Structure 1
Amino acid sequence: MSAPTPALLYCAVNGIDNCTNGIGRQTKTLLATLERHHTRLAAAVGPFTPYLAAPQPGPATWNHDPEHLAYASRVVEHLGGRVIALPYDTDRPFWHPATWQQLSEGAAQAAADLARHHSRVLTIAVDTPFAAVPALTGHQRIHTVLALFSTAMITERPAPDPQHLDWERTAVTAVNRRPRAYVADIGTFLADHLTRDYGLDPAALTPWPSGLHLTHPDLAPMPAGDAHALAHRHGIPTDRPVVAAIARTDPTKGLDLLIDALTPLREDVHLAAIAVRTDDERAALFDTYQRQCDRAGLRATLIGDFDRHLPRALAALPTTRVMACPSRGETLANVVFETALWAQNGGAVVLAPARDGFTEQITDGHNGLLYEPASPGALTGGLRRALALTETERARIRRAAHTRVVAERDSAQHLGALLARYFPDRRGQAGRLTAHPVPGTRPPRSQATPSQHDFLEATR
């Protein structure tokens, strides 16, 4: 006998017992949204039970932290769910299709198990390691949304691994042939990329814009005095303009490009870069970046470990002029959205290349600055332009950035709309609510739905 309530199963490889990248931040956003807004969401779409599925937590997990796992467990257990550990071969390379197949099979089985006890299961399969889940779920009570936040074509430029490409293309095109399977339309650039380069049927897209838990304490601006103190503890001087960057040690993130571009400005600025060491051979890039700064004579502070408070401090620091995002490829950069909140009272404006998802996040000169990445010297020129802004101009840009993020990136609204689309409400009718998609996103193939206003009214 099925229970009267549906279930939400969120499958992710980062953010449950660790938090080291953008996928981890997305998972943390979901957890905060559930923790603080579950009652509102249930009032709007009907009761539901959230579950998490993750690779078996433990020493094999990149930056495994029991406190992260305890928090994730506490959130979902309080709401009647649990964390489901997915066994996998920890002796095999994690970033390999064989491992991903094992994880996808485990997640599909978890969804099938939940379907025996819940009236419906909405499975959100997050990113490449869970990309095969839609092809492996066929139960009539299971709806699956594949939430890709990037692809090998974007992150492994200029020469993506052929095995990674084959895995992603097979998984994406499988959605075209599966009933009750969808791909999350998180933004215009990625949706166009998946349809053009991977063969996704546009009718399979379902709106779920990338968002933030806007009122979470770790997105609040840090007071200037606290930001100064934290910067000093990390050896970051505040007597000259600071150029900040937040990334992991991955060539895609382009920290080497930023260091080169800052060399002509070495007498005028200090680079403060959080370059989080990854769990593979790319971790050695941290030392490479340090040597590059030394050779260039660039005043720089590189931090290899992630501390959630330091990005807040750097963004809000009055002497931080620029939050630089020099990526070679980026779908939608969390740091762009987060900086808009952290720096609303003072601090950094964002500088990014006019490529990929940055162009839907930033309108040049309005809520940030863009430069042409293919033009020689353009990044240095963009840095000069940012440093030359007056305080009035910087305040105007920061204000516009904050206004836009608050208007477009509320994760509670987005999650409520997604649940309403696939969960029946308490009267047994199909969900009738949706979040207002960001410009350029497409309606789902399931059905047309009303405006964001309906969801806002229902959750007040």
Structure 2
Amino acid sequence: MITSAPASTVAVLIHDGYYGHGTGAGAANRAFLRVLAEVLPADVRLLLLPVRLAPDSPEHREHEPQDLAGVLARAEVHPLDNGTSGTDRFGGVANFRALAAAAGQVLRDQVGRRGESCLCIAFDVPFFGLAETAPEQVHLVLVPRSTGMLHQPQDLARTRWERHCLLSAVRRGARIGWISRFMAEHLRTDYRVPPAALVALPDGLTDADRPSPAAELLPPGADPVVLGSPNLRNGFLLSFGRAEPYKGFQDLIAALALVRRRRPPALVLAAVSEGPGRTRFQQRLVAQLRATGVPAVFLGDFDPRIRSLLTRPELRGVIVPSRSEPFGRIPLEAHAAGAAPVVATRAGGLAEQITDGHTGFSAEPADPASLAAALTRALELTPAARARMRRAAMAATVHFDHRLAVIRFLRANGYGVGAEERRTG
């Protein structure tokens, strides 16, 4: 259902992106908030409801006011308790239920008692239960950035809960936003969301998402594990993301072992976590690197400056080996930074970002041999071919203009907002 008149209040609910941004979802949430604060009419009230994180939580980061200054200046912020005492922004189904109750109470207090109409955009799984607690005048849009079926398929209880919540929300008149064509099909096919309930809010880049130039080869203060004593100034490959099995870093190491006879550049593998010490998966990755003899620098601690490595002249290629990826921002960030070539699997939304042989190279997910073949093609590029691929990839970012996507979404909800001519790129 598209609202016939614009709501007087817009509420945005996020689990990551306010107290820092330790996930791709958090970075995407911040991008949405920056655009919203810029283009939303000044007479529309803006509420921001983030999941609260305590200062001693390992996921808590200091605010980056230069990044969210426009949002924080105009938004009324109401932190939400998800039942973890501020230690975990995500949690499990019990925390999702607690979060829905807390968010519903804030919306009743801030919107229901005032008799205001409200457009409520709730990002990601933790808010799926909101339709059961939000007041009637809330026009709800749930925007899954992933699902349990994609990232925790063994958790059948969570998957059943997600499906129940999404279908219940649709029956109550909510709409379900999709961030990629892959996610639209996934929600239709695997969660049985009716096509008529789906609305477009595709992910993408804003001007602020371009990585800042890196003054140093590694982030200041980095504590890397160095394997094989690589000299990164002779060139390096880069792969980064959360240290989770679905990111496919184990497949990348196996693929590099297959192409080792071609003497590929050293690997900078930033498989990161936010807690203290190394996770078991991180330990397995380091052990795998040692066992295969792949020269590498391993970074295990989350640091947003890792993305700045995309700007380094020594960079020879960016690898995104994911087994599952609802959207995947790294190829676009690499393209915007002029990093080439990008080698990515065809997992989920990644297939929408790479045209094989033109803007990068593609491989099958969870297939080290296929990834090795794509890496070989990337390493064999001549300087001229690499420059052509860089230009083509940078030009392709125009199709992923998040500012334009937000403007179109707001217009569909009755808001007269800025011009569409501006493009990312």
Q: Which moved more, 1:284-293 or 1:90-99?
A: 90-99
1:248 to 238, 242, 258: 242
Q: What does 1:379-398 correspond to in 2, within 5 Å?
A: 379-398=371-390
| CA distance in structure 2 between the aligned counterparts of 1:177 and 1:391, rounded to whole angstroms | 56
SS at match of 2:322: coil
TM-score (norm 2): 0.86
TM-score (norm 1): 0.80
Deviation per CA, 1:195-246, whole angstroms, max 9, x where unpaired? 10101001001111102222x2x615627xx365769987773343412101
| CA distance in structure 2 between the aligned counterparts of 1:306 and 1:87, rounded to whole angstroms | 24
Contact between 1:367 and 1:401, CA under 8 Å: does it hold in 2?
yes
1:311 to 284, 307, 312: 307
Instruction: Check if 1:288 corresponds to 2:280.
Output: no
Q: What does 1:132-171 correspond to in 2, within 5 Å?
A: 132-140=129-137, 142-156=138-152, 159-171=153-165
Q: For residue 87 of structure 1, report the CA deviation from its aligned partner.
A: 2.2
Instruction: Check if 1:124 corresponds to 2:121.
Output: yes
* Counterpart amino acid of residue 385 in structure 2: E
Deviation per CA, 1:106-155, whole angstroms, max 9, x where unpaired? 22222233324474211111111111113432413x11111101111111
Deviation per CA, 1:395-450, whole angstroms, max 9, x where unpaired? 22222222121x2222322222222222xxxxxxx4467xxxxxxxxxxxxxxxxx
- Which residue of structure 1 lines up, in the alignment, with residue 79 of structure 2? 85
Instruction: Check if 1:330 corresponds to 2:315.
Output: no
Instruction: Check if 1:355 corresponds to 2:347.
Output: yes
SS at match of 2:294: coil
Instruction: Check if 1:52 corresponds to 2:48.
Output: yes
Contact between 1:322 and 1:348, CA under 8 Å: does it hold in 2?
yes
- Which residue of structure 2 lines up, in the alignment, with residue 260 of structure 1? 254
| CA distance in structure 1 between the aligned counterparts of 2:7 and 2:200, rounded to whole angstroms | 23
| CA distance in structure 2 between the aligned counterparts of 1:431 and 1:160, rounded to whole angstroms | 42
Q: For residue 65 of structure 1, report the CA deviation from its aligned partner.
A: 2.1
| CA distance in structure 2 between the aligned counterparts of 1:232 and 1:281, rounded to whole angstroms | 16
Q: Alignment RMSD, CA only?
A: 2.9
- Which residue of structure 1 lines up, in the alignment, with residue 3 of structure 2? none
SS at match of 2:234: coil
Contact between 1:249 and 1:278, CA under 8 Å: does it hold in 2?
no
Unpaired runs of 5+ in structure 2?
A: 1-5
Instruction: Check if 1:26 corresponds to 2:20.
Output: no
Contact between 1:134 and 1:145, CA under 8 Å: does it hold in 2?
no
- Which residue of structure 2 lines up, in the alignment, with residue 446 of structure 1? none
| CA distance in structure 1 between the aligned counterparts of 2:331 and 2:115, rounded to whole angstroms | 38
Q: For residue 189 of structure 1, report the CA deviation from its aligned partner.
A: 0.6
Q: Decide whether aligned partners of structure 1 residues 73 and 367 sit closer, same or farther in structure 2, where only a CA change above 3 A counts.
A: closer
| CA distance in structure 1 between the aligned counterparts of 2:327 and 2:120, rounded to whole angstroms | 22
- Which residue of structure 2 lines up, in the alignment, with residue 185 of structure 1? 178
Q: Decide whether aligned partners of structure 1 residues 57 and 230 sit closer, same or farther in structure 2, where only a CA change above 3 A counts.
A: closer
SS at match of 2:79: strand
SS at match of 1:139: coil
Contact between 1:34 and 1:75, CA under 8 Å: does it hold in 2?
no
Contact between 2:52 and 2:81, CA under 8 Å: does it hold in 1?
yes
Deviation per CA, 1:364-388, whole angstroms, max 9, x where unpaired? 1121210123656111111111111
1:111 to 103, 107, 110: 107
SS at match of 2:331: helix
Q: Decide whether aligned partners of structure 1 residues 268 and 65 sit closer, same or farther in structure 2, where only a CA change above 3 A counts.
A: closer
Contact between 1:5 and 1:49, CA under 8 Å: does it hold in 2?
no
| CA distance in structure 1 between the aligned counterparts of 2:231 and 2:378, rounded to whole angstroms | 19
Contact between 1:18 and 1:62, CA under 8 Å: does it hold in 2?
no
Contact between 2:7 and 2:118, CA under 8 Å: does it hold in 1?
no
- Which residue of structure 1 lines up, in the alignment, with residue 396 of structure 2? 404
Contact between 1:263 and 1:297, CA under 8 Å: does it hold in 2?
yes
Instruction: Check if 1:366 corresponds to 2:358.
Output: yes
SS at match of 2:176: strand
Unpaired runs of 5+ in structure 1?
A: 423-429, 434-452
* Counterpart amino acid of residue 362 in structure 1: I
Q: Decide whether aligned partners of structure 1 residues 277 and 107 sit closer, same or farther in structure 2, where only a CA change above 3 A counts.
A: same
Number of residues of Structure 1 aligned to a counterpart in Structure 2: 407
